[in-house]
Amino acid sequence: MSMFSSGMGLQSDLSHLKNDFKLQDMVVASPASATAYVLGMALSEIVYSIPALATLSVLMAVFVHPSAAQALELFAVIVMMFITSVTMGFTLSTFSSDVVQSFAFSGLISILFTTLPPVYYPITYIPLPFRYLAYLSPTTYAAEIAQSTSGLLTLSTLSFVLAWAVLAAVTLVFAALAVTKARWREV
């Protein structure tokens, strides 16, 4: 949730820099690519997440005692969710015409992707008819993987592999959308 919110926060920052400071116009005119720009901005967003990540890492080490493989798997989930949210945030920022609009979209999308899906609790707490709605969010799959890896949720092998496949597909789809649909240059 922390990494997804950080990635979506990039939307507001990029929109502010694009619309108010015209930074994107300067970067477009320079030899820098859209990828370099977004990567640099995404890395700067991680700075805001360091306190949360450090706290959660310590809590994970103290209470869950993950093995190296589990820690690597949790790291992979976090990175994939961050890439998904950064590419989504970048694409949306290129369409926004003002910062207020970006702040509204960023907050709304963060709530829809991090609060309503079972990020803080197992999906089994959601009544069955409504459980299928939770699966519309990629954070549900990331949470299931993290909860299963941490021993908080038991998933079948098929469900576990399916969750990874969906998470990878969603990450690739949002990355492809960022590459093909983002308005890097004004036309």
Higher pLDDT, 124 or 142: 142
Domain that holds residue 24: 2-181
Rounded to the nearest 10°, the torsion over CA 108, 52, 66, 147 is -20
User: Is 54 among the domain residues?
Assistant: yes
pTM given for the model: 0.88
Torsion-angle region of residue 30: left (phi > 0), alpha (psi -120 to 50) or beta? Answer: beta
* Separation between Cα atoms, residue 111 and residue 147, nearest integer Å: 20
* Separation between Cα atoms, residue 168 and residue 29, nearest integer Å: 33
* Separation between Cα atoms, residue 67 and residue 149, nearest integer Å: 10
Helix extents (H) in the chain = 2-19, 23-29, 34-63, 68-95, 99-114, 128-134, 138-149, 157-181
Q: How confident is the model at residue 186 (pLDDT cuts 50, 70, 90)?
A: low
User: Is 150 among the domain residues?
Assistant: yes
User: Is 186 among the domain residues?
Assistant: no
Q: Say how many C-beta atoms besides its own lie within 10 A of residue 106's C-beta.
A: 25
User: Is 159 among the domain residues?
Assistant: yes
Higher pLDDT, 103 or 58: 58
Averaged pLDDT of the chain: 89
* Separation between Cα atoms, residue 102 and residue 89, nearest integer Å: 9
Measured over the CA atoms of residue 22, residue 23, residue 27 and residue 30, the dihedral's sign is positive
Mean pLDDT within 117-137: 89
User: Is 187 among the domain residues?
Assistant: no
- Compute φ and ψ for 117, nearest 5 degrees: -70, 160
Higher pLDDT, 23 or 76: 76
Residue environment code for 143-170, b if the CB has 16+ CB neighbours within 10 A, otherwise e? bbbbbbbbeebebeeeebeebbebbeeb
| Residue 165 pLDDT exceeds 60 | yes
Mean pLDDT within 51-80: 93
Mean pLDDT within 34-44: 89
Domains: count for the chain: 1
Share of the chain above pLDDT 70, in %: 98
| Residue 181 pLDDT exceeds 60 | yes
73-104 tens-digit pLDDT: 999 999 999 999 999 998 888 888 878 888 88
| Residue 187 pLDDT exceeds 50 | no
